Amino acid sequence: MGRVTRIRRNDLGRLHKAQGRILLYCLPFLYYNQDRQGQLKVREQVSVTKKRKYRVLSLFSGGMGLDLGLEQTGRFETVVCIEKEKAFCDTIRLNHSKGRLSRNLQILEADISALDPKHVLNELKVDPESIDVVVGGPPCQSFSTAGRRGTTQDPRGTLLWDYLRFIQYIKPKIFLMENVRGLLSAALKHRPLTERPDQGGAPLTDEEMPGSVVNLFAQDLATLEGVGYHLDIFEVNAVNYGAPQLRERVLFIGNCYGREIDFPQPTHGNDSPAKSKGSQPSLFDEEAKIPWRTLGETIGDLEEENPVVLDFSPRKKSFLAMVPPGSNWRSLPVEVQIESMGKAWYAKGGRSGWWRRLTFDLPSPTLVTMPNHASTSLCHPTETRALSIREYARIQEFPDEWEFSGTVSQQYAQVGNAVPTRLGKVAGDVIATELDSIMLNNLTPHKHPTSDPRIVYLQSHIRTRQWFKNGRVHVWSDGEDNNDASYALPKTIRKVKSI
């Protein structure tokens, strides 16, 4: 096929300049072909809504945030979802029964690590060749900075490689995998700190090096039998794409056509509220962005007569009652800090979540599964209680009609661990565009990748752990001195490196 060129409706007068090209459009675009006399004629007018819907198999479906985001593009239908937690599956079944998910969805309550992909699809009567996209986020809490940092020890026995087994059998055109940032620096094997080179130990082996998990995963992807996948890895923060929450995640997008896929640049930034009040300059003076969505914009109009809440104990409430909006433990008198925190007060780090009360003026910090814990508290800005389930769902941008099953703790886990639906939609738009191009050009899968995997770091935000400074919410300005290596290059929007 020829070169693809896009022309808007109001550019019809310039069509004669497109000689010799095949032009692809969707409303507000048109399709044009050049006839034998050199005249460009309208071939077909196509609505985006009439475009093909790509079929998705969802693994580790959880709360369905990623899947909902994909379906919100109007370009995907989830035909199979697999999740082992009964309460999560009950939620999916409940909403599916009320028409909130794809009509043809089949829900399998099972542990993926115990499944054979071929047997599963045979039982469900699903042709693997009919699956265009595989999505999912293998649980890797051990790699999360919010949990205990771990390693795989036996990499091919982990859920990452269970995910890979489904990729190998189905051979989808594209796959999307979501995970925590800590996975990028995770090692295959762990060596105690006291035995490392800086403590006189032997040099680290390849398997002990940071990043060895992702390196091996990329190598295995590239050498699957019959097809090889190119892998693009994007470090993103949901707040930069319109989500009302600081949530740093890593998106792995693989395709078997050797294509390098680009993720959109951040659309939202810190142009408000600090800048509007004149107290802080923007991080993005060189490139205007839509202001971050705030907690107030997200839950300010929410009225709940009986909010479902995993609430604080009376003792915890007595301390939180002294904390003003947008503050944490550092705003308390020192003697109260020591009394309320115990040994944690003497720790050197990991304390920003203690006695944390949110503010309506900024996005929410990352949601956790237990908002009523002292060390990870997410207290309502004006009420001394934890955020409710419905407030959680608003922050993750689940539809208001979406219902949750299970105990209160299970509902918090479903929402707190979900991928923000906004992030799923942005990724879905990227993938749909790639699939359209693949289908238009009738591309064939490659047996081996033609380029190295790469990591793209889309940074236009402060580090989440810098959200609080001296007990108050703090948005770092361009002029401030900052020696924290984790917050380098505050104006860098895009860094690319091969792995």
Residues taking part in catalysis: 140
- What distance in Å separates the CA atoms of residue 363 and residue 352, rounded to the nearest whole number? 16
Residue 24 in tokens: 């692809």
Distance CA 361, CA 272 (A): 9
> Torsion angle, CA of 332/335/336/337, rounded to 10 degrees?
70
Beta bridge partners of 108: 82
Q: What is the DSSP string of 256-300?
A: TT-PPP-PPPP-EES-SSTTTTTSS--TTTTS--EEPPPHHHHHT
Contacts of residue 384, Cβ cutoff 8 Å, sequence gap at least 6: 312, 317, 320, 321
The radius of gyration of the chain's CA atoms, rounded to the nearest angstrom, is 24
* Torsions phi, psi for 232 (to 5 deg): -115, 135
* All residues at 6 or more sequence positions from 428 whose CB lies less than 8 Å from its CB, including other chains: 69, 70, 71, 72, 73, 75, 76
d(CA 34, CA 2): 11
Structure tokens at 156: 């091919």
Distance, in Å, from the CA atom of 334 to the CA atom of 389, rounded to the nearest integer, reads: 33
- Size (the chain), residues: 499
Q: Which amino acid is at 405?
A: S
